[in-house]
Every structure is written in structure tokens, then in C-alpha cells.
Chain A
Amino acid sequence: MKRLFSIFIFTTLTLSLFAQAKKPTIMVVPSDQYCISRGYKMEFESMGATQTLPDYKAAMQNDADLRLVITKMGQIMADRGFPLKDLEMELRNLEREAAESAMLMSSTSGSEMAESPVDALKRTAKADIIMDLSFDIKRMGPERYISFNLRGLDSYTSKQVSGAAGAGKPSSAASPELLLEEAVLSHMDGFNAGLQSHFDDMFAKGREVKINIRRFASFYDNLESYYTDESTGEELELLEHIENWFFDNTVEGRFSLSDASENQMRLEQVRIPMMETDSRGRERAVDTRRFLSGLSRYLRTTFGIDSKIYVRGLGEAWLIVGEK
């Protein structure tokens, strides 16, 4: 018995020691300005207006300078323990995945894979943090210099979490490739320091995410309907019950309800904990889906309302009440 107890304690300790928070993925993406100004763009008509979008595939296939900069940045980030997601590879994989999913079928019945239009729509290149990059080789008399601009953007909160920008030293002797390499080497330490501050803040105050609460049109009530929580005896609007749940479950009650109506609630700057202990006593990393499943359970057990969780990424999810 004593031995069993020791093994249990050891296993629990090991599990908690090896528990790690969800690591954000990072990808370098050339900025819209960079792509469009160099002609890597797609133009199409939409409702009578011409829309211009960057063509990343064309940029990656034709721009040697861009590839050089991305390679150098990837090398530095991998050295810091954050291998970057490669945009070119990701685009290629998505194409292959789409082709394979269209062809794949069951060997027994010949059934195709189930895929909703939303599943197909979600098949895009994405990362949790985008390194939005633009640079320019400029001239000043006989000398050339690099103007460099790198922004670290949180894909979900749209906040700039780090940045580095500036102009390099003009030179008439150095090749543009060497100047570009210099620009990357010069700015990456500052950029990573900003990223480190962002992660420190995340571990101290929780991960900042965005959550939308919506309702299915088929739901017989709305977010302003009154419900009674039997455990507290409070009769409040469903919206207020949800707000109270957020207050109880976010880190230090940090969140802001930026918009609310009978059909939706938009919650921003929601600080969710990085780790939690699950029902089996294990330390587990928390992402927005896992966090929202707690709210979904609360709505079902307390008010008998079903809900569906729709994940948009590590830092954004929607909870649609009324149905599964």
C-alpha cells in the first residue's frame, strides 16, 4: 500500500513537472504593402469595387531577397527555441491536403470524408503570432541602405506584441544581400526581447484571448431572457450569468465586455489561465476551447442550455448557445 502511494505521488509530481503551456506558433508573412508594391498581388471585382490582395505564393516563388530574410529570421528563431512555421511550405501543404481530401475514400464502402463548407474555409495558412515583415533597399547617392520594419502581431487580439524598425548604415561596397543579413541580425534581438516581455506578461496575467458568445436562431430564448441559478438563487439575464462566470473564471477577473445584445456578447482582453488541474488531477495547458468548455458545461448543468464551441485558433473561440 505504501509503495503504491509512493508511485502515485511520483507519477503526479512527474506529470505536473512536465506540464507545459500551449506554445504559440509563429510565422513570417510579408506585409500587404511589401507584396502589393512589388506586384505580388491578386485583383478581383467584388460588388463593383476592385479589391487587391497580396499573392503570397507569387512572392515566395519570385522574391529571392524575401526568402533570404525569412531564412535568416527562421534560423535565429529556431536557435531561440521557436522554429518558425514556413509560409511557402504551409501553402504547398494546404494545396496537397485539399487534393488528397478530394480523392480519399473508404476502402469498404467508397465513402468520402465528411467536410462542411466551414471546414474547407478554415483550411488556410495561419499562426498564433504573425511576424509582419517589410523592407526596402534604398539609395542615397552611391550608397545603399536597408529600411526594415518587423511587427509581431497577435492573430486573435490584433495587438502588436513586439516590433523592430529602423534604417541600416549606408554602404557603397556591401551587396544588398549582406545589408539585408545585417538588418536581420541587428533587429532580431530587440524583437525577441519584446516577444519575451509578451510571454512574461502572459505567464503572469494569463493568456489574452477573444471570445464571442452567439445564439442559434433556433434557440427559443435569447441572451436577455431571465434564468435562475438554483445554487445562488439569483434570477438574472442569461447575459449577466455568463458575465459572472467570466468574472469567476478569468485570471483576477480580467475581461472586458465590449459589445452585448440579445443575440451576441463580444468579450475582449479575456485573460485565461495558462494551466489548470483537470478532473483526474493532472496539470493541463488551457486554450480557448478548453476554457469555453467550462462555460458550456455550466450552461448545460445549471440552465439546461446546450451550446456549440467553434474554435478559430489558440486565442479565439465562439460559443453558440441553443444547440450542439
Chain B
Amino acid sequence: MFINPKNHYNTMKTLSYFSLVLVFLFAMGEATNAQNRFSRRERKAHYSSDYNYDVQIMGVGQDGTKVMKVSGHGKRVEDAVIEAKMNAVASVIFKGIPGGHGAATTPPILKDSNAGDKHAEYFETFFSPGGKYLQFITMTTDGMPSGQDRLKMKKGYKVFIYAQVMYDALRKQLENDGIARSLDSGF
């Protein structure tokens, strides 16, 4: 088979141009992706944020209680479990719990999204180690979470625990402390 050297040269030239264009496009794509990626510091801020936790209702609880599955992060599993307990109470106060498993959406006790900052001093004490928040959790899976409920992260663990929060008692406590408004206030 005879190959015309001139044609061969042209084909090669076209191919090299085509490769250059591909390389350029690939580089552009990478640059765009790089813009979407978070830096290490940003990722750390994301994981250590107080607002970063998952919460899921697990059904309708007994009178005045909410049963939920909630996540927590920590260097050790024990730390993550403690944070998950705090998150369970915090979710009921600030975030609310989305509906599911036959239970309707639970609204947060404090509707104002800035309530945490407004009463920062109060909540600092409330959520301090061994603080009053523990009074409103009646049941948790205190044993070490395992399987899918215990995820090994790059630095530490993310765990899920099942918790029962005394919603009505917590709301009353916040109303008595002047943090939340009761339904009949003003009347």
C-alpha cells in the first residue's frame, strides 16, 4: 500500500491541531472545576459549622416528644455522639425537623433565624458541657454507633444517633426563660 507523503503530512497537521484544541478545552474545563472546588480552609469551616448537621424525624413520638435521627462530628466517636445530642436539641430550637415516616413537619421553637445570636449568652450556658440541654433528651442510643451510623471521615468521625427530645418541656422552659414567646402572650 502506497501512502502519499504529502497527504500523510496534512493528516498529521490536522490531528495535531485537533489535539491542541482538545487540550485547550480540557484545560478550560479544569479551570472551571477548580473554581467550584472549596479550599481546605473552606471545607474545614463547612464541617466545623454549628449549622452543619443532618436531622431526620423517625416517627410520631409520645405526647410532647420528638423522635429523631441526628448526626454529629468529632475527632473521636464519643465526641461525635456528644455533639449529636446537642444537635438534637438545637435542631428542635432553631432548625425544625422536616416531616417523614408518617410525622408532619415540626416547626422550630424559635422562628427568628437570628435568635441564636440574639440570645448568645443564654445558649452558651444552655449548651455548655453537661449543660441544661441534657435535661430535654430522654432516650438516645448511647452505645457506640456502628455500621452506617458511624462514618470514618478524613479527620475524625461522623455518627448518627437516635434521640428523643422532650419538645413541649423544652418549649416551656424557653418560654419561662423569656427566650420564646408563648402562644397566649399578649392576651
Contacts and interface: CB of A to CB of B under 8 A. Distances in A.
B150 interface: no
Interface residues of B, number: 21
Interface stretch (B24-32, B99-107, B116-124): B99-107
A145 B181 CA distance: 34
A186 B60 contact: yes
B186 to A, nearest CB: 6
Contacts of B183: 80-82, 192, 195-196, 199
B168 interface: yes
Most buried by A among B60, B105, B181, B182: B60
Contacts of A21: 186-187
Interface string B60-79: 11010000000000000000
Contacts of B168: 79
Contact of B102 (A79, A182, A197, A200): A182
Interface string A154-175: 0000000000101111100000
A186 B103 contact: yes
B111 interface: yes
A186 B104 contact: yes
Identify whether the interface residues of B are mostly helix, strand, loop, or mixed.
loop
13 contacts: A23-B187, A81-B184, A164-B104, A166-B99, A169-B103, A170-B102, A186-B102, A186-B104, A187-B104, A190-B105, A190-B107, A199-B183, A200-B181
A20 B103 CA distance: 36
A82 B184 contact: yes
Contacts of A81: 182-184
Contacts of B181: 196, 200
B187 A190 contact: no
Interface string A172-203: 00000000001001110110110111011001
The interface size bin for chain A is 20 to 34
Given A189-B107, A190-B104, A169 B59 contact: yes
B183 to A, nearest CB: 4
A196 B181 CA distance: 9
A67 interface: no
Contacts of A170: 102
Interface string B128-164: 0000000000000000000000000000000000000
B175 to A, nearest CB: 9
A111 to B, nearest CB: 39
B94 interface: no
